[in-house]
A and B are shown apart, each in its own frame.
Chain A
């Protein structure tokens, strides 16, 4: 059994799985049930001046019969009285002293930050998360992503929080920026103990084409929401990894965005996150999904001979490089296993219309497409569309050329192999 104990900027939890600040972490009752299911921590739904929400609030994007691969919301921060939230935080911490309770906060003035931080810590918060991320509603009032998009404001408020806080402070970043790095650096400069990202992505989830109104519909109007769910994971992985790999960025990361199962979580951890936060999959399936996450992570670590989270976190970061450092002479080609091929020809059409026209119809009355190896550029598209597990493999080719990157080629004139598929 691996030790899953997680430390994110001084916030310790029995495992790296936290509820993100969102509807599943709205109340003490919910969070205690989540802890009973195995969640290691929870970031309380953002506290601030309680708001009034609209009806309706959520929308989802469906893809080929799979519901809600992406999700958006136009809900705001807590709508419950602050004193109720603080009372429940105290109750949760009393009953679950070893679990991490992080309180998400969003207020405006320095005095308000001082007051709400003091009350949060008095209630027993193990850490704070500054919500500089919400891309809808609150940003119109100068909070949320309006802060996260301005490094100087981010840094200033972070420094206030650090001034007032005796517990670790995480800064939750918005992905609605061109480059995440200056925003992470602002959190660092402000003294933050860690960052969490990504918050939701500004989005329109869809349009009711009969009413000709955006979803989710509030009467005859709607507004842009925050996009999340499985579909955002690649964006989140990139942003989290961009910070994790930067030599100047030193803060621990709590990764958020499209984590639905243990495999997703492992990806975030490998790319430098010390903990992961989950909302959408819990909203869709319930707290019980954490069982598979804990078990899958534990078995994975056992398989890899990893004893603690330190053996895992950031292990894939060295593989994240600039394009100019990729070996242009590394070559793969596709290979179809004729024994398992079912003859759907999806690879052929994908290659013909979407790639390099090197997969051709079966010959000799068979059902297995043929690959023109002289033309195959090793792009992976055929493997991606193939419905049969392990039927198409990408095989390494020894072409006799030694490693040469674009940078090697430009700087030192390193020899490149002849181009394939470039006619």
Chain B
């Protein structure tokens, strides 16, 4: 595994939500009401038994607490940091109905899982060898969760990853004030420590390896390749040096260094979570003026409100109802923006210009379903590989999960889908499907 550059740009970020110490964790854990059939559990895509792991923190049954988390979600450590808990478990905590502060489930989960990592606890053994093997495309959260569960069920696993780093977006894409890349790599090591998961890096599906080859080598295939490259704007000047894809830029920032010397004004185009992350990252790296340009009104952006509120506290500003139609000049580049109404429809003759030294486009990523399109039994819809609730694609032995199948959701969704698919693969390999 590669060692990530210690001098990389993301290294300057501290945790936005600092870790709990023991006194804080105990105080918060003892505040939990230990609800039965708890709304927080229902809000968690991996259904972690949250009241139970919190109770175990309170009783100082720390191994039990961590085990309770990992039993449901083997990526519980990264999820504790990167989950949008405000819209999931914490958002559904019953304390909200009391207008009292909800339990800080993410921070408690981080306390518990960090302790497990620090102590070197491992809880899982591989199942009895079945002699079957599964090939997994992509070494991101979906494939890791799938492979770990498959190992517990006794199946051999080979993960094919196009990069030379593993962990997928947890390593290359997560906002560094939530989790830095080295922590993601530690998680990968921890997950792989169950043994029997071979990871082949530098192997790109569709270029170095095809489905037919995988199907000939393995008894089943899990497609967890995530999403493709940033979408770019097909407008004049859209291919200029100052215009970059946000996901690409974030990866550079996390794994290497991004050059921001002389960048006084940055624009992020888009209104989703990648856009909000990029805004906060640019500000955190010292860019004085960061503007989000979004085609809809502020209230309709798809990025989480709680994240955008923090971005605004950091000094971010927004230009609403605007979409670039041309990038003119260079250093600075001038964005010529068409103004849009509340329904995102162009307002005739209304234009605004904005100057920027750097423009990041966070307007979505390409889908990889095309790599599988046309194969027997496979349905691809809007670039997504269509699967059933178990992650089954319709083609014998081909399963999928994570962004490649769900179109782009959270790490915790990928973890849930990967695990569920593993259980379906197990049933398939045992002849049930």
> In the complex, what residues of B have CB within 8 A of residue A299's CB?
61, 63-64
B67/A295 in contact, CB under 8 A: yes
B52/A288 in contact, CB under 8 A: yes
Residue of A nearest to B59 (CB): A261
**Is B430 among interface residues, defined by CB-CB distance under 8 A?**
no
A296/B64 in contact, CB under 8 A: yes
> In the complex, what residues of B have CB within 8 A of residue A389's CB?
21-23, 26
Q: Complex: how many Å from CA A263 to CA B30?
A: 15
Q: How many chain-B residues does the 8 Å CB contact rule pick out?
A: 17
In A274-292, which residues have CB < 8 Å from any B CB? 285-286, 288-289, 291-292
Q: Complex: how many Å from CA A288 to CA B59?
A: 14
B52/A291 in contact, CB under 8 A: yes
**Is A35 among interface residues, defined by CB-CB distance under 8 A?**
no
A292/B22 in contact, CB under 8 A: no
Q: Complex: how many Å from CA A384 to CA B56?
A: 22
> In the complex, what residues of B have CB within 8 A of residue A285's CB?
34
Closest CB-CB distance, A281 to chain B, in whole Å? 11
> In the complex, what residues of A have CB within 8 A of residue B34's CB?
285
Q: Complex: how many Å from CA A66 to CA B36?
A: 19
Contact with A along B60-72 (1 / 0, CB 8 A): 1101100100000
A292/B55 in contact, CB under 8 A: yes
> In the complex, what residues of A have CB within 8 A of residue B36's CB?
286, 288
B52/A296 in contact, CB under 8 A: no
Q: How many chain-A residues does the 8 Å CB contact rule pick out?
A: 17
> In the complex, what residues of A have CB within 8 A of residue B52's CB?
288, 291-292
Per a CB cutoff under 8 Å, which of B21, B22, B61 touches A262?
B61
B56/A292 in contact, CB under 8 A: yes
Closest CB-CB distance, A86 to chain B, in whole Å? 31
Per a CB cutoff under 8 Å, which of A286, A292, A387, A388 touches B59?
A292
Closest CB-CB distance, B405 to chain A, in whole Å? 33
Closest CB-CB distance, A276 to chain B, in whole Å? 15
A387/B23 in contact, CB under 8 A: yes
Contact with A along B1-25 (1 / 0, CB 8 A): 0000000000000000000011100
A292/B23 in contact, CB under 8 A: no
> In the complex, what residues of A have CB within 8 A of residue B60's CB?
263
In A287-323, which residues have CB < 8 Å from any B CB? 288-289, 291-292, 295-296, 299
Residue of B nearest to A261 (CB): B59
Residue of B nearest to A289 (CB): B55
> In the complex, what residues of B have CB within 8 A of residue A296's CB?
56, 59, 61, 64
Q: Complex: how many Å from CA A261 to CA B30?
A: 13
Residue of B nearest to A342 (CB): B23
Closest CB-CB distance, A356 to chain B, in whole Å? 26
Q: Complex: how many Å from CA A292 to CA B60?
A: 10
Q: Complex: how many Å from CA A263 to CA B64?
A: 13
> In the complex, what residues of B have CB within 8 A of residue A291's CB?
52, 64
Q: Complex: how many Å from CA A292 to CA B29?
A: 14
Which A residues are closer than 8 A to B by beta carbons? 66, 261-263, 285-286, 288-289, 291-292, 295-296, 299, 387-390
30 A-B pairs within 8 Å (CB atoms) are namely: A66-B30, A261-B58, A261-B59, A261-B61, A262-B59, A263-B59, A285-B34, A286-B36, A288-B36, A289-B55, A292-B52, A292-B56, A292-B59, A292-B61, A292-B64, A295-B61, A295-B63, A295-B64, A295-B67, A296-B56, A296-B64, A299-B61, A299-B63, A299-B64, A388-B23, A389-B21, A389-B22, A389-B23, A389-B26, A390-B22
Which B residues are closer than 8 A to A by beta carbons? 21-23, 26, 30, 34, 36, 52, 55-56, 58-61, 63-64, 67
8 smallest beta-carbon distances between A and B, as pairs: A261-B59, A296-B61, A295-B64, A389-B22, A299-B63, A389-B23, A292-B56, A292-B61
**Other A-B pairs beyond A261-B61, A288-B52, A299-B63, 18, CB < 8 Å:** A261-B58, A262-B59, A263-B59, A285-B34, A286-B36, A291-B52, A291-B64, A292-B52, A292-B55, A292-B56, A292-B61, A295-B61, A295-B63, A295-B64, A295-B67, A296-B61, A296-B64, A389-B26
